A and B are shown apart, each in its own frame.
Chain A
Amino acid sequence: MKILVCISHVPDTTSKINFSDSDSKFDPTGVQFVINPNDEFGLTRAMWFKEKQGAAVEVVTVGGPEVEPTIRKALAIGADSAIRVDIPAVDGLQVARELAAVVKDGGYDLIIAGRESIDYNGGMVPGMLAELTGAEFVNNCIGLEVEGNTATASREMDGGKETVTAGLPLVIGGQKGLVEESDLRIPNMRGIMMARKKPLNVIPAANSSVETEFVKFEKPAPKGAVKLVDEGNLDELIDLLHNEAKAI
């Protein structure tokens, strides 16, 4: 079995978000980047397939040279090889088209992506990639097994859970549940040393067109101070929620 894990390189949630160029661009100065959390769950599940079922695991990212530390981290966690498609990622459809070009000749059985990236929160690359390559797709995936040519996958729905079977190749939009938090791995020294010797192939982009652009970013207006209500006066809270906030 051959697995491709799509990795998006995102600012850690605790980073302060700032913009430059008259608020039209995200400013990465001083920001710590990490593997998108949803992709980390997927990568860990891929390692399970590698260890239990002998799968070969390749990771891919679309981005400039600045994303290499993130993809190296995926190699240190245990992926066998990596691909970087050498073009800045600016739009979900563009990224999906670039990834589709990688998938087309790759012979992957399983393509693991995340339900959304925590930077632009598009939630679109996996579904687009599936449709562009003619693969089946399961979003919000919280459980995945493969036997022979059939995958069994569970997805979280609003108010429940659905389990499906699908033929391969399959693309998933993964999330927590694929593995638990406690299963996530921190790269150890040996992994980091080995990662240096693993192949990281930089390939030219297909130069897919970019059809959207952020013209301006803004931050939410600073929140007014919280209104504190004394615990002996909960009627006031109910009154505020009813008459002021109109929430009950």
Chain B
Amino acid sequence: MSVLVYTESEQGKFKKSAFEAASYARAVADQMETSVTAVAVNQDDVSELGNYGVDKVLKIASSEAFNAKQYAHYIKQAAETESADIIVLSSTADSRYLAPILAVGLNATYASNVIEAPSSVSPFTVKRTAFTNKAYGLLAMHSDKKVIGVSSNAFGLVEKPVQTTVSDFNPELVNSSLAVQSIDKDTGQVSIADAEIVVSAGRGLKGPENWGMVEELAEVLGAATACSKPVSDLGWRPHSEHVGQTGKPVASNLYIAIGISGAIQHLAGVNASKVKVVINTDPEAPFFKAADYGVVGDAFEVVPKLIEKLKVFKAQNA
């Protein structure tokens, strides 16, 4: 009855969130005095998982690219083989997609947005965010089986090197009429979900022609770019960059908001970020109340200066 963790990878590389999920699974396994088994799909080199306390890896070679129902059933079969009662996943779009399907398959309850190791394993009790980051709730789960979705950048990476055994696992396929027709990937950019740092700008930038400095700042920091809702509604930036309550959620380590007022609907979606920096001409902008660091000033002067200084800093700290 080991703890099972789904470790997501893309193009032959584990995502950082996979290691975070593995770290979390290890913490749960330690509390329950058991082992951790990981499921990895279409990932050849699984050696890194041992750094995060994974005792055993079940490798699945799937003929299918991601299909939530299919992958949920792979994980379900792995859970049954391992008699796992606790299944840990990350909060990527794909993991959030398959988690509820998996929960029903296992007759399990599901807790998403979990930010801490369980405060108790009997009853199994976890802390999760609720009310769009305006509160935390301690959730007791009374079902035999539980699916736990861990928030990004909350539990963090915890190294705990162990010996890992690896075996191939050949689950059955399920029937699905769902067929992928096309995938458009934003190539060469850091995605908002994976990014440690997000640089975001709002209507304060006046027009799409002024985004060069936002992109440059993001590039210097290795960050993803994002924007407020009006900016994408006006067509200044693509919809995929819109963050907030009705856009993408952000839970990065660092969120830099440039010319964004900090409306409650914007904050709702980005508040889970650890450190927030605001650059705004208006000292009364509500975002200053939610931020850790702020610069009251004109973005057109502050951002280029910041870029130059960061380049120097990066060169010194490379």
Contact = CB atoms under 8 A, between A and B. Distances in A.
Contact of B246 (A175, A214, A218): A175
10 contacts: A19-B135, A140-B97, A158-B93, A163-B183, A165-B179, A166-B178, A166-B179, A213-B139, A215-B138, A229-B293
A28 interface: no
A212 interface: yes
A139 to B, nearest CB: 4
B170 interface: no
A216 B296 contact: no
Interface of B: 68-69, 72, 92-94, 96-101, 103-105, 109-113, 125, 129-143, 176-186, 189, 191-194, 197, 221, 229, 233, 239-240, 242, 245-248, 253-254, 264-265, 268, 274-275, 277-278, 288-298, 301-302, 305-306, 309-310, 313, 317
B310 to A, nearest CB: 6
A156 B209 CA distance: 26
Q: How large is the interface on A (under 10, 10 to 19, 20 to 34, 35 or more residues)?
A: 35 or more
A17 interface: yes
Interface string A164-181: 111100000001110011
A158 B94 contact: yes
A157 interface: yes
Which of B129, B181, B191, B274 has the most chain A CB atoms closer than 10 A to its own CB?
A: B181
Contacts, number: 256
B94 A157 contact: yes
Interface string A213-230: 111111110011011111
A78 interface: no
A123 B96 contact: yes
Contact of B189 (A37, A159, A216): A159
Interface in A229-248: 229-231, 234-235, 237-238, 240-242, 245, 247-248
B313 A238 contact: yes
Interface of A: 11, 13-14, 17, 19, 26, 37-38, 91-93, 96, 118-128, 130-132, 136-140, 142, 152, 155-167, 175-177, 180-182, 211-220, 223-224, 226-231, 234-235, 237-238, 240-242, 245, 247-248
Chain A interface main SS type: mixed
A214 B265 contact: no
Given A127-B97, A176-B247, A216 B132 contact: no
A241 B131 contact: no
Contacts of B254: 241, 245, 247-248
B100 A126 contact: yes
Contacts of A38: 246
B302 A158 contact: no
Contacts of A235: 309
Contacts of A161: 183-184, 240
Given A160-B184, A223-B289, A241-B275, A247 B197 contact: yes
Given A238-B309, A242-B313, A158 B194 contact: yes
Contact of B294 (A212, A227, A234): A227
List the 3 closest pairs (A to B, CB-CB), nearest first.
A127-B100, A159-B191, A231-B297
